[in-house]
């Protein structure tokens, strides 16, 4: 610490012991150059960051329309393929449905023809040869292909009793790829009468083709 004491017109400068006065530090040329280099480096770094940001945005703006164009192209190219595949599947299912209905109708036609030729065994070919095949009629239930055959042989023991059989009003409904239901009308033309009635058949697709597994036949009351 130092100061000045005035004694009249005389100024006396004093300094505390152990204290020194440091002259102000002036920046030299090398120091100024160093600071200038640091400022320049910072400016370059900021410019680089800004440039990269602009470049990233530019790439994004460039890539976005390309991605959109590729997506549109894929929709145009693969869209019709998907539609065609769906249409082909639909057509295939329709064809399979029509084929199954035609095969069921063919079984019933073959039964009618065999019956009118007096061929009970040929008529029975329309039923599944299984112990679970069921026939319901006249308040009785018969199970098994052999029992159903026995019932026909006993009730229609000759051609006069068999008469001429006609199936009509057939309604064929597929409930799955291997099962169908048939609603129809039957009529016998015999010398002494004209019995007729309704039937409901359940068909299953077996190893032998479409076959009847359940037959529920009813007869209309005879005329008074």
* Ordered domains of the chain (ranges, CATH): 33-224 (3.10.450.50)
Residue 89, pLDDT score:
83
Q: Give the position of tokens 């409901």.
A: 200
pLDDT in tens, 21-44: 445 545 556 666 666 677 667 667
CA 181/CA 194 separation, integer angstroms: 26
Instruction: State the pLDDT confidence band at 5, using cuts at 50, 70 and 90.
Output: very low
79 vs 18: which has the higher pLDDT: 79
Among 3-12, 24-33, 85-94, 155-164, which range has the highest average pLDDT? 155-164
**Residue 167: predicted pLDDT:** 98
Q: What is the percent of the chain with per-residue pLDDT over 70, rounded to a whole number?
A: 64
Residue 4 has pLDDT above 50, yes or no: no
pLDDT over 80 at 71, yes or no: no
20, 21, 27, 31: CA torsion to nearest 10: 20
Task: Name which residue leads in pLDDT, 172 or 17.
Answer: 172
**pLDDT, position 6:** 47
Using an 8 Å Cβ cutoff, are 108 and 167 in contact? yes
* 3-state per-residue secondary structure call for 117-174: CCCHHHHHCCECCCCCCEEEECCEEEECHHHHHHHHHHHCCCHHHHCEEEEEEEEEEE
Q: For position 14, what pLDDT does the model report?
A: 47
Q: With a threshold of 0.85, does the pTM exceed it?
A: no
pLDDT given for residue 68 in this prediction: 67
Determine the average pLDDT of the residues in 47-76.
Answer: 60
What is the per-residue pLDDT for 19? 47
pLDDT reported for residue 65? 67
- Cα torsion angle, 158, 162, 164, 170, sign: negative
Helix or strand holding residue 178 (H, E): none
pLDDT, tens digit, for every residue of 113-153? 999 999 999 999 999 999 999 999 989 999 999 999 999 99
pLDDT of 107 strictly over 70 = yes
Asked whether residue 156 carries a pLDDT value surpassing 70, the answer given is yes
């Amino acid at each position: 610490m130092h100061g000045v004491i005035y004694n009249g017109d005389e100024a006396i400068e004093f300094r505390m012991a152990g204290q020194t006065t440091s002259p102000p530090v002036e920046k030299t040329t090398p120091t100024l150059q160093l600071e200038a280099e640091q400022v320049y480096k910072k400016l370059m770094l900021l410019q680089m960051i800004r440039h990269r940001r602009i470049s990233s945005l530019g790439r994004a703006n460039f890539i976005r329309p390309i991605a959109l164009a590729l997506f549109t192209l894929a929709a145009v190219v693969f869209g019709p393929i998907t539609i065609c595949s769906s249409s082909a599947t639909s057509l295939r299912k329709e064809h399979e449905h029509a084929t199954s209905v035609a095969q069921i109708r063919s079984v019933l036609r073959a039964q009618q023809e065999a019956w009118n030729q007096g061929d009970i065994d040929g008529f029975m070919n329309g039923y599944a040869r299984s112990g679970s095949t069921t026939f319901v009629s006249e308040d009785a239930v018969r199970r098994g292909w052999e029992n159903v055959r026995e019932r026909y042989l006993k009730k229609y023991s000759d051609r006069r009793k068999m008469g001429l059989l006609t199936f009509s009003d057939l309604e064929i409904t597929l409930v799955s790829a291997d099962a169908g239901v048939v609603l129809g009308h039957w009529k016998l033309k015999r010398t002494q009468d004209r019995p007729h009635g309704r039937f409901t058949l359940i068909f299953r697709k077996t190893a032998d083709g479409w076959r009847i597994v359940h037959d529920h036949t009813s007869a209309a009351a005879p005329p008074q």
